[in-house]
A and B are shown apart, each in its own frame.
Chain A
């Protein structure tokens, strides 16, 4: 079985945020797109939602929001951010624990106004002090600073006065807004400021999380977490759903079966043959998996790897691959074909320059051109170039995709050998650059393409061979691209789009990575009793149950039809 790939949207790089002033987005209950008769007014309470998201292990019953291994079961459910930023809706913002915020002119200082009347689920009120405490805790214990706010982002101070919290930075910090406003979960000082929690906030086992969110843990056992609605939740009348069950599935098989027979309503992993296996089983079964990242081939660009660092070879590979076929066969059509510019469509259509892709001839497979390029190097189908590609064992959709790619390349004169390696071995080789080609995707997505591009292409994210690269595994170094990515932070929105398009042009010209298909947020949902799901028409949050704090948005939209 293939493990679920969790895209914890942890931001180590930088993120862009619209420069529009904070518009108070109204928190509307979305119609669920298949039950149009429902109005979007308040709903009556009741109902239970069961989540089928393969955890791969039993629950440790630790809900510490600073622990990446467990934080997606607590952030969104129990802990909340200051502002929710929707990556699928052009970064639309929903104020959560902060009512509003204001940047200063050069974006080096931000003032949050903290919402009043919010209570922790132990009855104590949330104050601006708690918020400042959360940020200062990250300074005191660096391992809790998951987004490198006090280092990379240049955070200098976090202070509270009245209902205001002020964060001061060394430099323009707007790209980090997504990290500190949307991803950081605010914790209570009266819990994290005392005893064992204060001594080791990173490793402390948070068994009974005290948060402000819509749900409370009640109880947790190794094979199931049960969440019950928080009766004093600050959003009046919410959550409508009264109970959430989150069983620990060790692999996808049983999780998929529970989805197919309706036992679970909220799925978040790949279901092979989803039409026959899931959708055909009931008219209430739906799926919508929005693309967020690229899965592709990472060629080793270090000159010591003669073939993969040769631009002609890389272009030939990109021309040869029939991405639509990989999408259709390798992943059963559930992940759309990617494009050489690296811009994920339709999610980030605003940034996509179709003409540029067409101009370079990357809009459709062109085996003839690939053959010609390889011919110039003296290779042909009868005298093929031998290349190895490493991949992770157990990721069967990747294996199936590579099988198609292998076939495509064979036709133009590349003999591709696929090496299935254990995950740790594979990423070890990838990080240190001990490979020719690798099949992989970035592990974190952001609200604009800038974020993935920065991870892939900025030379700050690479390292010499033998040392661990953070995310620029192929060792791409281009000062012009670095400059563009650096300019992004202080640019306005129009300029930001322009910058992304320019960087995408380098993806087309230099082929530093060869995108093949688009990684999606896996999402299946059942509307027999539960409505209010995010849909393609109403993408109010990233839908997979492993996205935090998006789970909080979904859980406050869902309601039970039978309770109405």
Chain B
């Protein structure tokens, strides 16, 4: 997420401005769906940060139990065919899945902003080239490309997966942001900034971007959602590191051991549900931004803090 510190705010004409941060919070709070999403995200964040609070198993990848045990008090979701506790794998897998979502989502968003807003503000040849690039990337079917890239980059490392997701996940956002930046381009407040003789970079960072906060955050949520699902898909296909702790990797192993057909369905279902739930959480929070992202509903102001 972009954090911008405001230096010397320009004189304001509009009365009663609400700070963007407050607006976001209010939008989330006032919207039950968004609230639900935020709560789910919060829970996952806590689990990711402190897995030890939720399970006593420190090394969920170790084969310390009998294989294929049914759910019981000792093993809430049973054990895998490889003698690991499914519940503890789920808990420990949260971190990587969430990190992928946030980091890949954030980086993809940064890329979207750079490309989209620069294209809109610069105009001319630069705009043509950047738009062309955006549109080309936009029409390439993302998931097959992701698979090919991951395969060629050499599978395994988290960095590769993140890079692949960022490279394929920015174009949609860039298009949206460019459209909004274009509509802002000739507004009075930007005109006045130009007349004041502000530098171009200053105008983009301190004048244009804050106006687009809600759209940027919405884009971030979208990119994060895409990253969660794609990363799980990649890992499921075996393009991740099979020794890593994440929901996608759990799905991969479950599939490999034919979990659904050999009496351990929870091994597949549990991580699948978690991936879905995290995706749902990002989607629900997005509702809040539909509300404030629409200027007709609510004029958006500059923000002081990253939301």
Q: Give chain A nearest CB distance to B128 CB in angstroms.
A: 40
Q: List the A side residues contacting B82 at CB < 8 Å.
A: 329-330, 400, 403
Interface pair A273/B242, CB less than 8 Å apart: no
Which residues 243-269 in B have Cβ within 8 Å of A in the complex?
Answer: 243, 253, 256-259, 261-264
From A273, A403, A407, A422, contact of B81 by CB (8 A): A273
Interface 0/1 of B8-51, CB less than 8 Å to A: 00000000000000000000000000000000000000000000
Interface size of B in residues (CB-CB distance below 8 Å): 24
A393 to B154, CA, bound (A): 11
Which residues 324-360 in A have Cβ within 8 Å of B in the complex?
Answer: 325, 328-330, 332
Interface pair A393/B155, CB less than 8 Å apart: yes
Interface pair A256/B155, CB less than 8 Å apart: no
| Given A329-B83, A332-B81, A277 and B261 contact (CB-CB distance below 8 Å) | yes
From B156, B243, B257, contact of A272 by CB (8 A): B257
Q: Is B178 an interface residue (CB 8 A)?
A: no
Q: Is the interface of B mostly helix, strand, loop or mixed?
A: loop
Interface pair A272/B258, CB less than 8 Å apart: yes
By Cβ-Cβ distance, the 7 closest A-B pairs, closest first, are: A273-B262, A276-B262, A272-B257, A396-B256, A329-B63, A276-B263, A277-B262
Most B CB atoms within 10 A — which of A260, A329, A332, A419? A329
A330 to B262, CA, bound (A): 16
Given contacts A332-B67, A420-B242, 15 further A-B contacts (CB under 8 A): A272-B257, A273-B261, A275-B262, A277-B261, A277-B262, A325-B63, A328-B67, A329-B83, A332-B81, A394-B238, A396-B242, A396-B253, A399-B242, A420-B156, A422-B154
Interface 0/1 of B59-81, CB less than 8 Å to A: 00111000110000000000001
Interface size of A in residues (CB-CB distance below 8 Å): 28
A276 to B256, CA, bound (A): 14
Interface pair B63/A273, CB less than 8 Å apart: no
A328 to B63, CA, bound (A): 10
Q: Is A36 an interface residue (CB 8 A)?
A: no
Q: Is A83 an interface residue (CB 8 A)?
A: no
Q: List the A side residues contacting B207 at CB < 8 Å.
A: none
Q: Is B241 an interface residue (CB 8 A)?
A: yes
Q: List the A side residues contacting B67 at CB < 8 Å.
A: 328-329, 332
User: Can you report 10 residue pairs joining A to B where beta carbons are below 8 Å apart?
Assistant: A256-B258, A272-B262, A273-B68, A273-B263, A276-B263, A396-B256, A403-B61, A420-B156, A420-B242, A420-B243
Q: Is the interface of A mostly helix, strand, loop or mixed?
A: helix
Residue of A nearest to B64 (CB): A407
Residue of B nearest to A326 (CB): B63
Interface pair A1/B256, CB less than 8 Å apart: yes
Interface pair B238/A276, CB less than 8 Å apart: no
Q: List the A side residues contacting B61 at CB < 8 Å.
A: 403
Q: List the B side residues contacting A419 at CB < 8 Å.
A: 156
Interface 0/1 of A378-411, CB less than 8 Å to B: 0000000000000001101001100110010000
Which residues 66-110 in B have Cβ within 8 Å of A in the complex?
Answer: 67-68, 81-83
Most A CB atoms within 10 A — which of B63, B83, B241? B63
Q: Is A2 an interface residue (CB 8 A)?
A: yes
Q: Is A491 an interface residue (CB 8 A)?
A: no
Q: Is A250 an interface residue (CB 8 A)?
A: no
Q: Give chain A nearest CB distance to B231 CB in angstroms.
A: 17
Q: List the B side residues contacting A394 at CB < 8 Å.
A: 238
Q: Give chain A nearest CB distance to B115 CB in angstroms.
A: 33
Interface pair B63/A403, CB less than 8 Å apart: yes
Interface 0/1 of B181-217, CB less than 8 Å to A: 0000000000000000000000000000000000000
A167 to B44, CA, bound (A): 74
